[in-house]
Amino acid sequence: VSATVPGRLEGERTAIRPTTAHDAHAMLELRVRNAAFLAPYDPLRPRSFLTLAGQGAMLAADERARRDDRGYGFVVLDRTEGDVPIGRVNLFNVVRGPRQSAGMGYWLDEGHGGRGHATAAVRLACEAAFDHLGLHRLEPAVMPRNARSARVLEKAGFRREGRAVRYLEIAGVWEDHDLFGLTAEEHGAQAPVDGPAQGRPGTRHH
Ligand SMILES: CC(C)(COP(=O)(O)OP(=O)(O)OC[C@H]1O[C@@H](n2cnc3c(N)ncnc32)[C@H](O)[C@@H]1OP(=O)(O)O)[C@@H](O)C(=O)NCCC(=O)NCCS
C-alpha cells in the first residue's frame, strides 16, 4: 500500500480523479444547477459559495488538504458521456496513527442520479482510501431520513453502526445522523466496482 492519492480510478461507467483548480467552472455549473436539490443535505453556505471565486476557494482548500494529508477531494465523472463531471466524493478528517480513519461525503447531479454512479464513486473512493492511502476505516454519516444515501452505502458494503444525536449542522439545524463504517479488511473481500464479480483487483488504474 502506497500513501499517495491515485491520479484516476475507474469502474465500467464511472470514474473519479482528484479535483484540480481547473474544475471551478464545471463544479460551479453543477452546484448552481443542483442548488435546490442539494440544499437539504448541505451546511448553510455563504452567498459567495455559488460563484467562480467560491468554487475556486473550495478547490484550493482541497489542494491544501491533500498536501497536508488531511483530506482528498475527487470529481466524479460519467465515462458513458465522455468523462463529463457529475459530482463530488470527498475523504475528510483524515486521522493517522493507530486510527487511520476518514469521513466521507458525496453528492451527485440530480439528472445523473439513479444509475449507480454514486455507488460506484463511493466504492472507488474506498479503493483510493484503502488500497492507495493506507487508511483502515471510513466513517460516513447520513441523516436518518436520507434513505437514498443510506442505500448507496449499503450497496457499497458499509455497516450501519449507530445513531449520533445532533451530530452535524445541516441547512441550519443540528441533525441526528446514522454512522456507517467499513474497514480495509471488509473492503478487501469485495468484488470489483461495476465489473464482473470475479474477485479483486478488477478496476483499472491510471
Ligand atoms: C444520495 C445520492 C448521492 C444518490 O445518488 P445516485 O446516483 O442516485 O445513487 P445510486 O444510483 O448509486 O443508488 C441509489 C439507490 O437508492 C435507491 N433510492 C432512490 N431513491 C430512494 C429513496 N427515496 N429511498 C430509498 N432508496 C432510494 C435507488 O433505487 C438505488 O438503489 P438500488 O440500486 O437498490 O435500486 C444523490 O441522490 C445525492 O447527491 N443526493 C443529495 C446529496 C446527498 O444526500 N448526499 C449524501 C449525504 S450523506
Convert the pLDDT of each residue in 14-55 to its tens digit: 999 999 999 999 999 999 999 999 999 999 999 999 999 999
- What is the rounded average pLDDT of the residues 81-110? 98
Q: Is 197 helix (H, G, I), strand (E, B) or coil?
A: coil
- How confident is residue 2, by pLDDT bands cut at 50, 70 and 90? low
Does residue 202 have a pLDDT over 70?
Answer: no
- How confident is residue 193, by pLDDT bands cut at 50, 70 and 90? confident
CA of 151 to the centre of ligand 1 (A): 6
Strand ranges, E, within the chain: 9-10, 14-18, 72-78, 84-95, 101-108, 137-138, 141-142, 159-170, 173-183, 204-205
pLDDT digits (tens, 9 = 90+) for 7-19: 999 999 999 999 9
C-beta of residue 169 within 8 angstroms of C-beta of residue 175: yes
Q: Letter for the amino acid at 189? A: A
Does residue 70 have a pLDDT over 50?
Answer: yes
CA of 203 to the centre of ligand 1 (A): 23
- What is the rounded average pLDDT of the residues 187-194? 86
Closest CA to 24 of 60, 52, 65: 52
Percent of the chain with pLDDT over 70: 93
Rg (CA), the chain: 16
CA of 156 to the centre of ligand 1 (A): 12
100: left (phi over 0), alpha (psi -120 to 50) or beta: left
Does residue 198 have a pLDDT over 50?
Answer: no
Helices (H), the chain: 24-33, 35-38, 52-67, 117-127, 147-155, 184-188
- The pLDDT value recorded for residue 204 is 45
Lowest-confidence range among 77-91, 108-122, 135-149, 187-201?
Answer: 187-201
Residue nearest (by alpha carbon) to ligand 1 atom 23: 148
CA of 166 to the centre of ligand 1 (A): 23
Residues 6+ apart with CB under 8 A from 94: 69, 70, 71, 72, 101, 102, 133, 135
Residue nearest (by alpha carbon) to ligand 1 atom 19: 148
Residues 52, 58, 64, 67, Cα dihedral to 10°: -100
Residue nearest (by alpha carbon) to ligand 1 atom 42: 107
Mean pLDDT of the chain: 94
Q: Letter for the amino acid at 113? A: G
Distance CA 27, CA 60 (A): 13
**End-to-end Cα distance, the chain:** 16
Strand pairing class (173-183; 141-142): antiparallel
Helices (H), 68-131: 117-127
Does residue 196 have a pLDDT over 70?
Answer: no
Distance CA 119, CA 155 (A): 7
C-beta of residue 140 within 8 angstroms of C-beta of residue 154: no
Q: What is the position in ligand 1's atom list of the atom closest to the CA of 140? A: 48
Residue nearest (by alpha carbon) to ligand 1 atom 1: 149
State the pTM of this model.
0.94
Residue nearest (by alpha carbon) to ligand 1 atom 45: 107
* Residue in this structure with the C-alpha cell 466524493, named with its chain if needed: 89
